[in-house]
A and B are shown apart, each in its own frame.
Chain A
Amino acid sequence: MDTAVTAKKKWWAGGYSPFNVSYGKLMMWYFLMSDAFTFGALLIAYGTIRFSSPSWPDPNEVFKSFPGMGHAELPLMFVSLMTFILIMSSVTMVLAVHAGHMRDRKAVAKWLLLTIIGGFAFLSCQAWEWTHLFHEGAWWGRNPFLNADGTQASTNFTNFFFTITGFHGLHVTSGVILNIVILANVLKGTYDQRGHYEMVEKVGLYWHFVDLVWVFVFTCFYLL
């Protein structure tokens, strides 16, 4: 069981996994690093275009609606709720991983289920926001919002918004699907047979990464 590296062992000499983590976890880390570059490239492209534009729509003017609140101007409220949901689902995911270390099958199932619910809640929020913006006339190639200085805005704003939040939403969707698969395996007892709950950790890494990306999307689109 002990994987600690003593003076005699060498990281790369074979026989066990480098860096004291399993192969699967290591590769998940490298995948996430490459995915970070993909998101980074998208966000930097957005920043470049925004820097190259003389003026840009004010996010507080665009994102000011809240479901059921009619035309009340509530900038940042809805997206704060979405952020809270995602942070919360990250917490339940860590608790699932933690329960996995304890090999507590019931607790893993409970926390995973809450994580899945959080994921669905986030996706529902995003679906509502997209639908709302669509009805206001915003979509790829269409931008009804004026620039902050009152001039006509280009479609860059909506194109980047829908592409980047869409790409992030796609990640959330696949995260939810992975979580459901893992939950099914937990309930079947697959990981008890295997003797460890490492799959929960690997999917957990992915799930936290989705949360991490959202932190940056939140800042870039709603705060700056």
Chain B
Amino acid sequence: MEHTHTAAGHETAHVDSSTKSIWRTFWILLCITLVEVGLAFLHLEYGFLPRVVLNAIFIGLTIVKAFYIVAEFMHLGHEIKNLIMTILIPLLLFIWFIIAFLYEGDSWKNMRKDLKPGTPVETPKIGPAVKPGHV
């Protein structure tokens, strides 16, 4: 195991450039956060940008921040491609995970709304009461 760590000699050549990229990443993260907070305030004060657009921007910027933290701070961007892939490919499951569950949540909301006691019953679209060709 003693031989598997990063070679120190290789690193000394990049003293300045690597410290520089750390601070560059810091400024990027800070600026993105400030932009997010700024946009949130503009929306609060002046109703700037519709909520949906704003939320899309927030989620996009969050993913950009996540990219910089993982790629630069956690150094994953500088590891070999196979390692990057073993980490990222399983995380693709999140795409399905998020879509499926949020869709489910939305469906619950609609069912609660439509099936609330006292809600006038619309023309039944399902069940045995409907005869073929009736609607």
B-binding residues in A (CB < 8 A): 1-3, 11, 16-23, 26, 29, 33, 36-37, 40, 44-45, 47-54, 60, 75-76, 80, 83-84, 87-88, 90-91, 93-95, 98, 101-103, 194-196, 198, 201, 204-205, 208-209, 211-212, 215-216, 218-219, 223-224
Residue in A33, A47, A212, A224 whose CB lies within 8 Å of B101: A47
Q: Which residues of B contact A101 (CB under 8 A)?
A: 6, 8, 11-12
- A19-B82, A29-B87, A44-B102 known; 5 new pairs, CB 8 Å cut-off, are A19-B80, A22-B4, A83-B33, A102-B11, A223-B58
Chain B interface helix/strand/loop/mixed: helix
Residues of B near A60 (CB, < 8 A) are 40, 44
Q: Can you offer 9 A-B residue contacts whose CB atoms are under 8 A?
A: A11-B82, A20-B80, A52-B104, A54-B112, A60-B40, A91-B25, A102-B12, A195-B2, A212-B74
Flag if A54 contacts B4 (CB, 8 Å).
no
- A196 B5 Cβ-Cβ under 8 A: yes
Q: Is B79 a contact partner of A19 (Cβ separation < 8 A)?
A: yes
Q: Which residue of B lies closest to A75 (CB)?
A: B44
Expressed in whole angstroms, the Cα–Cα distance for A88 and B27 within the complex equals 10
Residues in B neighbouring A51, C-beta threshold 8 A:
102, 104-106, 108-109
Residues of A within 8 A of B109 (CB): 51-54
Least CB distance, A52 to chain B, in whole angstroms: 4
Segment 1-50 of B: residues with Cβ below 8 Å from A: 1-9, 11-12, 15, 18-19, 22-23, 25-26, 29-30, 33, 36-37, 40-41, 44
Check: B134 CB closer than 8 A to any chain A CB: no
Residue of B4, B82, B86, B101 near A48 (CB, 8 A) is B101
User: Per-position contact with A for B73-101: 1 when CB-CB < 8 Å, else 0?
Assistant: 11010011011001100110110011001
Contact assessment for B73 and A94 in the assembled complex, using a CB-CB cutoff below 8 Å: yes
Q: Which of B91, B105, B106 meets A33, CB within 8 Å?
A: B91
Contact of A211 among B22, B69, B86, B94 (CB under 8 A): B69
B18 to chain A, nearest CB (A): 6
| Interface SS, A side | helix
Establish whether residues A3 and B3, one from each chain, have CB atoms under 8 Å apart when the complex forms: yes
Bound complex: CA of A152 vs CA of B104, how far in Å? 23
A21 CA / B129 CA spacing, docked (Å): 66
Q: B118: shortest Cβ distance to chain A, in Å?
A: 15
Chain B residues with CB under 8 Å of A80's CB are 33, 37
Q: Is the CB of B7 within 8 A of A3?
A: yes
Set of chain B residues within 8 Å of A3, measured between Cβ atoms: 3-4, 7
Residue in contact with B40 in the complex, picked from A53, A76, A211, CB distance below 8 Å? A76
Q: Which residue of B lies closest to A11 (CB)?
A: B82
B12 to chain A, nearest CB (A): 7
A21 to B59: give the CA distance in the assembly, Å. 32
Contact B7 A212 (CB under 8 A): no
B97 x A44 contact (CB < 8 A): yes
Complex: A49 Cα to B101 Cα, angstroms: 9
CB distance from A27 to the nearest CB of B (A): 12
> In whole Å, how far is B131's beta carbon from the nearest beta carbon of chain A?
34
Contact for B104 among A20, A48, A208, CB less than 8 A: A48
A44 touches B58 (CB 8 A): no
Q: Are B62 and A16 in contact (CB under 8 A)?
A: no
Nearest-CB distance from B95 to chain A (Å)? Answer: 11
Q: A177 to nearest B CB, angstroms? A: 20
